[in-house]
Homo-oligomer: A and B are copies of this chain.
Amino acid sequence: MSRKPMARPGGRSARVQASVHAAVREIEAEAGRAALTVPAVAARAGVTPSTIYRRWGDLQELLSDVAVERLRPEEPPADRGSLDADLTSWARQFLDEMASGPGRAYVRDALLGDPDGSNAGRCSAYAADQIEAVVARAAERGETAPTVEAVLDHVVAPMMYRILFRPGPLPAAYADQLVRAVLAAPPTGR
């Protein structure tokens, strides 16, 4: 409840939030993660540290907030003509973004400083929305498609598991393989 109840997009709260978020991104880009401290962000954003502590609680929650924004997809998944192509394309891009160095960091940040799991839930919802779009398009075409749940369980989950728990490279082919498997299985992922 303390996160985004900004009064109005033009209000002061909104300006503060924007400049703080911008400061986080700038400092991280210029000086790296180690330089990210509440006082540093506050100075850069032109606010006092106490403002950040009061609004976000601590650095982790702030980073979590910023990370979730970065993980939000900016556009709906591309239409490649078929369910198979759409899903493969989307999964590849997802894996590519998430498995990159910065991507892994954002995922971890989003998961961190998130006592109630609401930020993590938002991330999952982003993916679910994207998949929903792909599945809906397939339905319009008359294709039989897996449920969103099945895709989350057997495409998204394995990728995230590896990203989080198994350091090491993840080739695009891995995404392809997961998509193939979920499309080959009986329509309902049960």
Residues of A within 8 A of B (CB): 108, 111-112, 116-118, 120-121, 123-124, 152-154, 156-158, 160-162, 164-167, 177-178, 181, 185, 189-190
Q: In the complex, which of the residues B118, B152, B161, B177 contacts A156, with contact meaning CB atoms closer than 8 Å? A: B161
Quickly give the copy total for this chain.
Answer: 2
A sample of 19 cross-chain residue pairs with beta-carbon separation below 8 angstroms, ordered by A number, consists of: A108-B111, A111-B111, A111-B165, A112-B112, A117-B164, A120-B164, A120-B165, A121-B165, A121-B166, A153-B158, A154-B158, A157-B157, A157-B161, A158-B158, A160-B161, A160-B165, A161-B161, A181-B189, A181-B190
**Main SS at interface, chain A:** helix
Complex alpha-carbon distance, A101 and B81, angstroms: 44
Query: With A112-B112, A160-B161, A161-B160 known to touch, is A153 a contact of B166 (CB < 8 Å)?
Result: no
Query: With A112-B112, A178-B153 known to touch, is A165 a contact of B118 (CB < 8 Å)?
Result: no
Residues in B with CB closer than 8 Å to A154 are 153-154, 158
**Further contacts, 20 of them, CB under 8 A, given A108-B111, A121-B165:** A108-B112, A111-B111, A112-B112, A116-B167, A117-B166, A117-B167, A120-B166, A120-B167, A121-B167, A124-B165, A152-B161, A153-B161, A154-B154, A156-B161, A157-B157, A157-B162, A160-B161, A160-B164, A161-B161, A181-B190
Smallest CB gap from A108: residue in B: B111
Smallest CB gap from A167: residue in B: B117
Residues in B with CB closer than 8 Å to A123 are 165
The smallest beta-carbon distance between A131 and chain B, in angstroms, is 13
The smallest beta-carbon distance between A39 and chain B, in angstroms, is 17
